[in-house]
Structure 1
Amino acid sequence: MSYVMGCVIPVEGSKRERFVEQARMVAPLFREFGALSVLDALQDDVPRGEVTDFHRSVAARDDELVAFGWIVWPDKATKDAAEATMMADPRMDMTDMAFDGKRMIFGGFDPVVDEGPGGAFTYVEGFVIAVPTANREVFVRHCREAAPVFLRHGATRLVECWGVDVPDGKVTDFARAVKAGPDETVCFSWIEWPDKATRIAGQKAVFAEMESTMHDNPMPFDGKRMIYGGFDVVSREDRG
């Protein structure tokens, strides 16, 4: 089973292009070290919530953008070995970083749902959720039943990941981002869309369909603490 390293990053607005440049520079190196795929995306439609949101998750300032991304590894052992190698590789020693690493949040996740054919996409919808740990199987079932709705309305892939190595941070972290309790697990998820226009049209159709069917598949988590948003893909590397 693959292993996903998910992250959310506060990017200085004035250094947007620098961030894109660095992401495209580093992605092939992760592949060289064994990663299956690498993706970085920048905020496009990221709302502010009453309780939680992506902006608060990384304590983003008004002049900062939020980035959402992931690295998929064959397994955790490959990721651990690669980290040791990368630390010693001078190509990974970049200066003038476009973001504040102290506020970046990251963690390791096991994919529990992966539905859809995949393929080309330029837009992702990202989610971070606090799920009662006791509801794991209910959560998986809920996501598997919901996936076909998104796929029917234009999404090409839906991935749901269960937190297995999500560290506490000194300033920010995933647990604080969704106000997760000790009996909850952080989940990292995304939906791939061909483009923003497809996502906009698809969302309307999905919401309309779910309004009539949601009572048969209620959310097994607190939706008020779920953080979500739409992101433009700026760098993507897949292992061929």
Structure 2
Amino acid sequence: MSYCTGMVAPVPAANRARYLEHATAAWKVFKAHGALRMVETWGVDVPHGKLTDFHRAVEAKPDEVVVFSWIVWRDRPAADAAWQAMMSDPAMQALPPMPFDGKRMIHGGFAPVFEQGGHTGAGYYQGFVLAVPEANKDAYVGMAGDAWPMFRDAGALGTVEAWGEDVPRGQRTDFHRAVHAEDGETVVFSWIRWADRASCDAATARMQAAGEQMQEQMQEMPFDGKRMFWAGFEPIFDSAAA
């Protein structure tokens, strides 16, 4: 994968069917403009954190569910050209109204810096958002490489770590605010693929049981782990399967 548009949005739980309908219609437009794949996942295990979390990131209300999604493009120029062209595409204007508050959706463009495993067939995803000092990019990629065997051996099917390249500032919400990014830090958008939630939960329990070893790894992370947030999501639309 060369480039992706990552998005997080708050969707009223009652609007799940409408959201899926909207995503299905939108994919046809994205595909016509060169998108290679789109994945939409629905939050099913979204914890509240002490400092940051997905709920705060999009100011989610009690009756809303957090959606974590991405669109894959050939490269950044292709993505930039597509978004520019879609602004004046009548097909885009003809889409059904968004069944959520788009003013609270956050989005950005990200380039993968570490990938392992496949990209299809997942029944569950863990999604992550964090801020990494730009000077620590190589150290972060190295950490991801060191951590992957542990996740793979625990049953993970694949992972993607994507480095922010075009992450805009929003008037109300954005990725920078979400992770309290400081000057000189880049937002990272990533996910781990699992066969299902049970596999992920079992693996998490085993890794947590390693307590002391995990704590040592946390202390050595080349970023502030207290500002990282993550959650579990089930796919509701995947153009690769559709």
Please classify the TM superposition score into its range, dividing by the shorter chain length: over 0.9
Contact 1:124–1:192 under 8 Å retained in 2: yes
Paired residue type of 1:237: S
Map of 1:38-117 to 2, 5 A cutoff?
38-93=38-93, 94-117=95-118
Shift of 1:213: 6.1
* Mean Cα deviation higher: 113-122 or 164-173: 113-122
Give the aligned residue type for 1:115.
Q
> Alignment RMSD, CA only?
1.9
Q: For 2:69, what is the secondary structure of its paired residue?
A: strand
Residues 159 and 148 (structure 1 numbering): CA distance in 2 closer, same or farther, change over 3 Å? same
C-alpha separation in 2, matches of 1:140 and 1:158? 12
Instruction: Please list every run of at least 4 consecutive aligned residues from structure 1 whose deviation after the TM superposition is greater than 4 angstroms.
Output: none
Aligned 8 A contact 1:116 1:156 in 2: yes
Match status 1:234 vs 2:240:
no
Structure 2, unaligned runs of 5 or more: none
Give matches, 1:88-167, under 5 Å: 88-93=88-93, 94-167=95-168
Please give the secondary structure, in 1, of the residue aligned with 2:156. Answer: coil
User: What is the rounded CA distance, in whole Å, between the counterparts of 1:229 and 1:192 in structure 2?
Assistant: 12
**Contact 1:27–1:236, Cα closer than 8 Å, also in 2:** no
Distance 2:83 2:11 in 1: 23
Q: Distance in 2 between matches of 1:11 and 1:191?
A: 22
Question: 2: distance between equivalents of 1:63 and 1:15?
Answer: 10
Is residue 23 of structure 1 aligned with residue 23 of structure 2? yes
**Residues paired across the two proteins, number:** 240
CA distance in 1, matches of 2:118, 2:211: 22
Give the distance between the partners of 1:119 and 1:238, measured in 2 at CA.
7
Change (3 A) 1:77 1:2: same
Instruction: Report which stretch shifted further, 74-83 or 204-213.
Output: 204-213
Partners of 1:95 and 1:179 lie apart in 2 by 33
TM-score between the two structures when normalised by the length of structure 1: 0.93
5+ long unaligned stretches in structure 1: none
User: Is contact 1:130–1:180 with CA below 8 Å preserved after alignment?
Assistant: yes
Work out whether residues 44 and 232 of structure 1, in 8 Å CA contact, stay in contact via their aligned partners in 2: yes
1:224 to 211, 226, 233: 226
Does residue 180 of the first structure (1) align with residue 181 of the second (2)? yes
Is the contact between residue 22 and residue 96 of structure 2 (CA under 8 Å) also seen in structure 1? no
Matched, 1:200 2:176: no
